[in-house]
Chain A
């Protein structure tokens, strides 16, 4: 009995779900708006089995990851250059500071104007939203490389180009990963938003559309799918970080910054 005490968190959650089930069943709460958890789960598994939810997720992920990887491919190199060269930093500083305060969803109408309702619209929006955490963390990572490390490379007369490749890049990789990790939930949020505002498919559209058709249990099932997706993306990222940064495993994890 004492050993089970460890699982009180899970137990508490299950208790809450049980209360929910009872309340919906006994009509204490409006089952039209908050259906039984058992019903939600049933519909969830049905939709997964029929392939509908997985397909919508695939559609969304295709867009999301394209935008995410594009952002990484553009803004990591830019961040490295801006971090290394004060001149390049100053060159772009004002433009970056002008674009940064724009809340990403607000860019959606612009994207709609340019790209209509297609995949490119979402890719553009995600590119814009993920840019800043990736860029700023990369710049910080490069600037944060310890002077002792740089001078060690200098005393061994490592050439400038090699110093960037062999010293600065690996040394700033942990912070670059932080930027990528912070951008991941942003990517997910923005793909959902852009699908809610301007799309005809994708998991975000699926959830909103279910609500509009009053298929309430289906809507909750979609939200559950999103939660699971978010969780799996996190775990995938942790795995990739574990593989890429083997030397980092033993060191403390730094606090994330948005």
Chain B
């Protein structure tokens, strides 16, 4: 597994970004442990250090239970780190930062059942006390962009799982965050819906130019979507590998995945994760 192919870079340490502008997201030696009800202390997230540039699409890939959600919630400011810190756009994170949103995996539990689709998508804007006509049209435009045109007045319980997750995505993007964190957003959906939403997400990302930090256990999904991937170890999670993904954009479900390098990458990551044995 040498580096004969000039478009791929493997490294076991973070790629130095010396001549690149300041990262929009800077995670410095982040670790998180918590106390169980039994009194034991568990280290969920080990030493994580990485930087994300503005406009990038990056993914964390790791086995189940490796602390991915804890990691994401720490970055989002919903949990206080046990050590280390997170810097978003130059400001240290001390609680949910104003230009960052976290999207949860359980879409049905994150949508507000008493609000319509439009009501949900507007939620972030309402939270900012922005009830202008511009806000409403922004929300409606996003509902259209995620492919739910005409469903504005529907309620969450009337929608399928995939549609509900689209509402959650629209809601997050209506807020116009600079950084969007996504916690295995497509994990609970069936395979075909997942592929559809992957493309929807890429389309939105290209148009809105948000920075996205994506978590998944689906290796191929990570490769398909991302510019860079960090492979996480088992709990306590640490970065064991960083890969740069250089496939041209826009990506295509058939052609991109058909490339030989796609499978090589996938197998490499798969082995990396598998090497850690069964817990």
Number of interface residues of B (CB under 8 A): 25
In contact, B113 and A158 (Cβ under 8 angstroms) = no
Answer yes or no: A149 CB below 8 A from chain B CBs. Answer: yes
CB of B26 to closest CB in A, whole Å? 19
Q: List the B residue with the shortest CB-CB distance to A174.
A: B113
In contact, A156 and B114 (Cβ under 8 angstroms) = no
In contact, B156 and A247 (Cβ under 8 angstroms) = yes
Answer yes or no: A55 CB below 8 A from chain B CBs. Answer: no
- CB contact under 8 A between A155 and B155, given known A146-B109, A148-B106: no
The A-contacting residues of B in range 193-211, CB under 8 angstroms, are none
- Chain B residues closer than 8 Å to A157, beta-carbon distance: 96, 98, 127-128
In Å, the complex CA distance between A246 and B115 comes to 10
**Chain B 48-79 against A: per-residue CB contact (8 Å), 1 yes, 0 no?**
00000000000000000000000001001010
In contact, B112 and A151 (Cβ under 8 angstroms) = no
- CB contact under 8 A between A156 and B124, given known A149-B109, A151-B104, A170-B112: yes
- Chain A residues closer than 8 Å to B102, beta-carbon distance: 151, 155
In Å, the complex CA distance between A149 and B128 comes to 18
- CB contact under 8 A between A155 and B76, given known A167-B112, A247-B156, A251-B157: yes
**Chain A 208-222 against B: per-residue CB contact (8 Å), 1 yes, 0 no?**
000000000000000
- Chain B residues closer than 8 Å to A148, beta-carbon distance: 104, 106, 109-110
Answer yes or no: A52 CB below 8 A from chain B CBs. Answer: no
In contact, A149 and B112 (Cβ under 8 angstroms) = yes
In Å, the complex CA distance between A158 and B124 comes to 8
In Å, the complex CA distance between A151 and B128 comes to 16
- Chain B residues closer than 8 Å to A166, beta-carbon distance: 126
Answer yes or no: A103 CB below 8 A from chain B CBs. Answer: no
In contact, A250 and B109 (Cβ under 8 angstroms) = no
CB of A131 to closest CB in B, whole Å? 26
The A-contacting residues of B in range 161-217, CB under 8 angstroms, are 175
In contact, B158 and A156 (Cβ under 8 angstroms) = no
- Chain A residues closer than 8 Å to B109, beta-carbon distance: 146, 148-149
Answer yes or no: B25 CB below 8 A from chain A CBs. Answer: no
Q: List the B residue with the shortest CB-CB distance to A245.
A: B114
- CB contact under 8 A between A154 and B157, given known A148-B106, A149-B109: no
- Chain A residues closer than 8 Å to B113, beta-carbon distance: 170-171, 247-248, 251
- Chain B residues closer than 8 Å to A251, beta-carbon distance: 113, 157
Answer yes or no: A235 CB below 8 A from chain B CBs. Answer: no
- Chain B residues closer than 8 Å to A162, beta-carbon distance: 127
In Å, the complex CA distance between A251 and B157 comes to 7
In Å, the complex CA distance between A155 and B183 comes to 13
The B-contacting residues of A in range 140-166, CB under 8 angstroms, are 146, 148-149, 151-158, 162, 166
CB of A164 to closest CB in B, whole Å? 14
From the candidates B73, B114, B127, name the one contacting A151 in the complex (CB within 8 A).
Answer: B73
B residues with a Cβ closer than 8 A to A are: 73, 76, 78, 96, 98, 100-102, 104, 106, 109-110, 112-114, 123-124, 126-128, 155-158, 175
Contacts A/B (CB < 8 Å), 21 sampled: A148-B104, A148-B110, A149-B109, A149-B110, A151-B78, A151-B104, A153-B127, A154-B78, A155-B101, A155-B102, A156-B123, A156-B124, A157-B128, A162-B127, A167-B112, A170-B114, A171-B113, A173-B114, A247-B114, A250-B155, A251-B157
Given contacts A151-B104, A156-B101, A247-B157, 15 further A-B contacts (CB under 8 A): A148-B104, A149-B109, A151-B73, A151-B102, A154-B78, A154-B96, A155-B76, A155-B96, A155-B100, A158-B127, A170-B112, A170-B114, A247-B114, A247-B156, A250-B155
A residues with a Cβ closer than 8 A to B are: 146, 148-149, 151-158, 162, 166-167, 170-171, 173, 245-248, 250-251
